[in-house]
Structure 1
Amino acid sequence: MRDMLLVVDVQPSFTPPDWLVTGIRALAKRMPSVATVERHDESCTPFARQLGWHPAPDDESLVAADRVFIKYGYLPPREMIDYLIAQQPARVLVCGMQTETCVLGAGFMLFDAGLSPTLVTDLTVGSSLDRSGELGATLWRHHFRQLTAVAQLDSQS
């Protein structure tokens, strides 16, 4: 069994910092990876109506991944979860944008599917509520317990 990387919503609409994109790109080269891209379709998710904002309808991932899954809303699509289940990873390393919302939502779906979600704490950024990502990491630790950092992954190689 091996680790797989899930890159959550690292796309132009969310203006990820350069250090995040660079770090995730380097990690994605080391293992099988999947990415989500959140796109806007008001008929699927009422972002504009309820929040007055929405991601672009045609964003692309800023990280090259083995598979990219398009989503409309906070949660990853079921097809991505099914794909990960079929790969039988030892754990799914999760990184990306909006630690306390989209990243955490992915964690819940992974957990409920019987996978082992592990947050890569130094490759995640929170929403405008908490750009540090600490709130999301605290919630992740409470719900899933498994956190790591790039240095820990490097020492395991």
Structure 2
Amino acid sequence: MSRSALIVIDMLNTYSHPDAEILIPSVREALPRIVDLIERARDGAVPVIYVNDNFGEWRSHHGEIIDTTLSGPHSELVEPVLPDDESLFVVKARHSIFYETPLTYLLSQLDVGRVILCGQVTEQCVLYSALDAHIRHLSVTIPDDAVAHIHPDLAKASLQMMERNMGASIRKAADVEF
């Protein structure tokens, strides 16, 4: 029987992009539930995998990404979700957590058949990642209160698309079972 993994998408962020000021309030709202999911996954020995943009810094590794985000103006949004020593880390360059990354291989090595996606941005990286997980025959769960958005209307539509078109389970973070 396959297991679940919690995927934390793009939460290590400098918030120095054009949509940051629109995104930050949604991140603040989702943050406590993301932290809770991470803690529950860790307590249950569920793999926690951070998949994060590298901000175009191709020589960086996850430690440098963490240092960069912690030195940014919104480190209070990063500190609560920092990876621990058991967390896994995958660097991505584009929207999907799967595009040109080793994540598919990693999930197969961990015998993961279900991914729980949390993080940002609902109508971008979360949506495209859910689609790519679906076409890889992975079961997808999205805690709708643990994903942050830029545009509320697009986020709502994206969640509907994930549920209807990809068979994703949309639920509250408190209702997610690992």
TM-score range, shorter chain: 0.7 to 0.9
Picking from 96, 100, 110, the partner of 1:75 is 96
Checking the alignment, whether the CA contact within 8 Å between 2:8 and 2:48 is kept in structure 1 is yes
Picking from 40, 50, 54, the partner of 1:30 is 40
Instruction: Give % identity.
Output: 19
Q: How many residues align?
A: 141
**Cα separation, 1, equivalents of 2:36 and 2:113:** 20
CA RMSD for the aligned pairs?
A: 2.8
Q: How does 1:47-66 map to 2 (within 5 A)?
A: 58-59=68-69, 62=78, 63-65=81-83, 66=87
In the alignment, is residue 4 of structure 1 matched against residue 5 of structure 2? yes
In the alignment, is residue 134 of structure 1 matched against residue 152 of structure 2? no
Deviates more, 1:115-124 or 1:73-82: 73-82
Code of the residue aligned with 1:17 in structure 2: it is V
| Gaps in structure 1 of 5+ consecutive residues | 44-57
Structure with more of its chain in helix, by fraction:
2
Using structure 1 for the length normalisation, give the TM-score: 0.74
Using structure 2 for the length normalisation, give the TM-score: 0.67
Code of the residue aligned with 1:70 in structure 2: it is V
> Match for residue 125 of structure 2?
102
| Gaps in structure 2 of 5+ consecutive residues | 16-23, 42-46, 59-67, 71-76
**Cα separation, 1, equivalents of 2:40 and 2:57:** 36
Which structure exhibits the higher relative contact order, with contacts defined as CA atoms closer than 8 Å and separated by 6 or more residues? 2
Deviates more, 1:16-25 or 1:78-87: 16-25
